[in-house]
Every structure is written in structure tokens, then in C-alpha cells.
Amino acid sequence: MKQAKTAEITCLLLLLFSGLVVCSHVAGSPLTDDVATLDLLKENIPQDYNIPAQYIEKEVGGACWLQLNLYPVETSLKALALKFGNLSPNRANITMFITMLQGLRFTLDNEELEVTMQVFKCHYRRVRWSTGQYFNHIKDIFEAATQSPGRFHCAPPPCPAPTSPPALPGNKQHGKNGRERSKHGLLALLLIPCITFLAFSIFKSPEGFNIITGICSVKQLVLKFEERDD
């Protein structure tokens, strides 16, 4: 009884908004008398359009594929309608299909739809389709709507693993150059005291040569340690 009342309310709403929408014998399934209008739209809109869309593939959406794609298609059609003037036949036809999609959503539990879309969120794909691809996708949705949307009986597959960006050759070269600069800086720091003590030993006393020998030995140890790290 409750299903029948819901179907009647949906039919009345759709008939008020569009004369092309009728009710099927299956409760909660609004259909169109003239789906051929999609082909007309496809012909009227330039084929080189790249229409942005968001969708879930049939293999991923499973039994919930129709429900998961209703709102994204409705949103995309609204954006497309704004590209045409208020008196444009294209805008009028697009608005008609938007109304039909909204009618389909009226037959669903809004809260359950939002939860299901959130669960499948990681599986939505953003694309830019040509005019033909775009309207073929919409036609698939209306063909799927010939059956009752029913209840949500679907579980999402695991989310795809995030892919790490490949290492760029420039990054490796940058790291190598950084190590070279560090090595040269360390050598410069070691050479300064060596030169200082060399001058001191020449002008002051022979014992200065022993100090130079000790410092330069430390330098050799540091260089060997760096070569081993490389």
C-alpha cells in the first residue's frame, strides 16, 4: 500500500513538470515517451565538446550502478544547460531530462542514497566525454531505469591503492649535486686549518710540521669515510 502511494505521488509530480513522463506498471519507475530526444540533442550539440562528467563503471557499481550515477548525471546536465540561452531548444530538452532524473531520485530513500554514494566515493571517476559518449551514457541510465530501482543491495569493492609518483631523473641528479657540494665544503673547511698551520710551522718552529701531519691524517680519514658511504 505504501509503495503504491509513493508511486502515485511520484507520477503526479512528474506529470506536473513534464508532459513526456509517464508511469510504468512497475512502482517507482518513471519513463519517457521520447528517448529519441537524446539523439536530437546529440546532433544539435557540437561533437567537439568535451563535457565534464563524473560516473561509476557498471562493473564497480553492480546492482547499485543506476542509483550511484543519478545525481552525478543530473549535476552534469545542469552545468551543460547553462551553456545555452533561456529560449534555446537544447536547454529546454536538457531541463526535461533533469526533471526526469529528479523524478527517479524521488523514488529512492535520500539518506540511503547519500550513504551509498559516500561508501563508493573512492570509485567515482572524473572524465571529459565527447558529445556522443556523454549522451550514450545518459541513454544507458534511462534504459536501466525501465526496471524498478528497488533497494540498495550492493557492497563496494576495495578502494584502489594510491599510486606514488615516479621518481624524476632531475631529483636524483639534484641529490647527487647536493652531496658533491657538501663534500667540497667539508674539504674547504679542512684545508683552511692545514694552510694556517703550515704557515705557522714555517715561520715559527719545526714542531709545526707534526701538527700539520696530524690534521691532514684526520682529513684522509674523513674522505675515506665519505667514499665508503657513497
- How do the domains of the chain map onto residue ranges? 2-144, 184-229
Answer with the residue of higher pLDDT: 193 or 71: 71
Q: Which helix (H) or strand (E) holds 228?
A: helix 208-229
Angle subtended at Cα 61 by Cα 146 and Cα 21, rounded to the nearest 5 degrees = 25
Q: Which of 7-21, 31-45, 53-67, 108-122 has the lowest mean pLDDT?
A: 7-21
Domain spanning 2-144, CATH class? mainly alpha
Q: What is the pTM of this model?
A: 0.59
Q: Residue 125 has which C-alpha cell?
A: 571517476
Say what percent of the chain tops pLDDT 90: 36
- Give CA separation, 206 vs 193, 201, 203, 212, 216, in Å: 17, 6, 9, 11, 16
